[in-house]
Amino acid sequence: MGQLDGKVALITGASKGIGRVMSRLFAQEGAAIICAARSRDLVEETAALVKAVGGRAVAVTGDAATEGDVKRMIETGVGAFGKLDVLINNAGDGGPTKRVQDYTSDDWFYTINSCLTSSYMCIRFAVPEMLKAGGGSIVNISSTAGRRGLPFRIGYCSAKAGQVGMTYGMALELAPHNIRVNAIAPGAVAGDRIDRVIAGQAEVRGVPLEDMRRSFVERAPLKRMSTAEDIATLAVYLCSDAAKNLSGQCIAVTAGEPAV
Query: Is 156 one of the catalytic residues?
Result: yes
Contact 178, 195 (CB under 8 A): no
DSSP structure string for the chain: --TTTT-EEEEESTTSHHHHHHHHHHHHTT-EEEEEES-HHHHHHHHHHHHHTT--EEEEE--TTSHHHHHHHHHHHHHHHS---EEEE----------GGG--HHHHHHHHIIIIIHHHHHHHHHHHHHHHHT-EEEEEE--THHHH--TT-HHHHHHHHHHHHHHHHHHHHHGGGTEEEEEEEE--BTTHHHHHHHHHHHHHHT--HHHHHHHHHHTSTTSS-B-HHHHHHHHHHHHSGGGTT--S-EEEESTT----
Q: Among 98, 92, 32, which Cα is nearest to 59's?
A: 32
Q: Which residues pair with 253 in a beta bridge?
A: 186
Q: Among 90, 93, 96, which Cα is nearest to 199's?
A: 96
**pLDDT tens across 169-187, in order?**
999 999 999 999 999 999 9
pLDDT confidence of residue 130:
98
pLDDT confidence of residue 258:
86
Sorted by sequence, the CB contacts under 8 Å of residue 181 that are 6+ apart come out as: 137, 138, 139, 140, 167, 170, 171, 174, 247, 248
- Go through the domains of the chain in sequence order and give each one's CATH number: 8-187+227-251 (3.40.50.720), 189-225 (no CATH)
Spot the catalytic one: 110, 120, 156, 237: 156
Q: How many CB atoms lie within 10 A of CB 130?
A: 23
Whether the pTM exceeds 0.85: the reply is yes
**pLDDT tens across 133-177, in order?**
999 999 999 999 999 999 999 999 999 999 999 999 999 999 999
User: How distant is the alpha carbon of residue 209 from its chain centre?
Assistant: 27
Sorted by sequence, the CB contacts under 8 Å of residue 38 that are 6+ apart come out as: 15, 61, 62, 63
Between CA 190 and CA 194 the distance in angstroms is 6
Strand 136-141 relative to strand 179-186: parallel, antiparallel, unpaired? parallel
Between CA 229 and CA 231 the distance in angstroms is 5
Instruction: Say whether pLDDT at 260 is over 80.
Output: no
Contact 43, 15 (CB under 8 A): yes
**pLDDT tens across 26-85, in order?**
999 999 999 999 999 999 999 999 999 999 999 999 999 999 999 999 999 999 999 999
Band of pLDDT at residue 19, cut at 50, 70 and 90: very high
Band of pLDDT at residue 1, cut at 50, 70 and 90: confident
